Chain A
């Protein structure tokens, strides 16, 4: 078995709102595409919200995590607050200047804007020791 068969510690957990609006679906689509591109791995916010032990403990133990909420209602953040889980990286899609609506024909430019923001959402890495 390869030495790195376990999840590498640098793997970023991506959690997306996935709610019933364009911004919820933009959050999800960005997380899906970033996972395909190798930036992090989409994980189940619903499992955490359902208080399923494996999901909650995973969110607690993962070193790097980005939570993407669609709008300022902040359902994902509320899940984390309820479980007293640390939010390591966080962004809200409407904060990127994208208006919330019910149009599910997602725009490429908006998906890319969310992806770019997600890539910048983690706290800055510590400089390498000299």
Chain B
């Protein structure tokens, strides 16, 4: 599983990355979590704002910090 956290690096983005990593550990699922800070790469996803979370190419969340429960729901599907 490939998970990308889109965001240039502000506290909201860092918090999102932290929650995603915690959820991955808690789920026991094998997943690669990548932080994407390059604005051009972020723009390719067409998101209105950051932080955003992409799971296996699907944009799951935009412009907000997801809860750990939300992330667990996405990765356990």
Residue ranges of A at the interface with B (Cβ–Cβ < 8 Å): 1-7, 9, 11, 13, 41, 43-44, 47, 52-63
Interface size on B (CB < 8 Å)? 23
Q: In this complex, what residue of B is CB-closest to A50? A: B46
Interface residues of B, dominant DSSP: loop
Contact B46 A7 (CB under 8 A): no
Give the residue name and chain of the A residue nearest to B50 (CB): A6
Q: Is the CB of A57 within 8 A of B9?
A: no
Q: Whole-angstrom distance between the alpha carbons of A104 and B45 in the complex?
A: 33
Q: Which one of A2, A3, A56, A62 contacts B49 once the chains associate, using CB atoms below 8 Å? A: A62
- Who on chain B is nearest to A48 by CB? B46
Closest chain A residue to B6 by CB distance?
A54
Across the interface, name the chain B residue whose C-beta is closest to A59.
B48
Closest to B9 in A: A1
* Contact A6 B62, CB 8 Å, known A11-B49, A52-B46, A55-B46: no
**B60: which of A41, A43, A57 is its contact (CB, 8 Å)?**
A57
| B residues 49-71 in Cβ contact with A at 8 Å | 49-52, 57-64
Asked whether, in the complex, the Cβ of A57 is within 8 Å of the Cβ of B61, the reply is: yes
Residue of A3, A47, A54 near B62 (CB, 8 A) is A54
Contact B49 A58 (CB under 8 A): yes
Question: A7 contacts B10, CB within 8 Å?
Answer: no
> Given that A6-B13, A58-B49, A62-B49 are known contacts, is A1 also in contact with B8, CB under 8 Å in the complex?
yes
Check B10 against A6 for contact (C-beta < 8 Å).
Answer: yes
Query: Of residues A5, A6, A52, which shows the largest number of chain B Cβ atoms within 10 Å of its Cβ?
Result: A6
Is the CB–CB distance between A5 and B46 below 8 Å?
Answer: no
- On whether the beta carbons of A5 and B9 are closer than 8 Å, the reply is yes
Greatest chain A CB density within 10 A among B11, B61, B62, B64 is at B62
Does B33 reach chain A (CB closer than 8 Å)? no
Q: Report, nearest first, the 7 A-B pairs whose CB atoms are least far apart.
A: A7-B49, A54-B46, A58-B48, A5-B10, A54-B45, A1-B9, A57-B59
**For A63, what are the chain B residues with a Cβ–Cβ distance below 8 Å?**
63
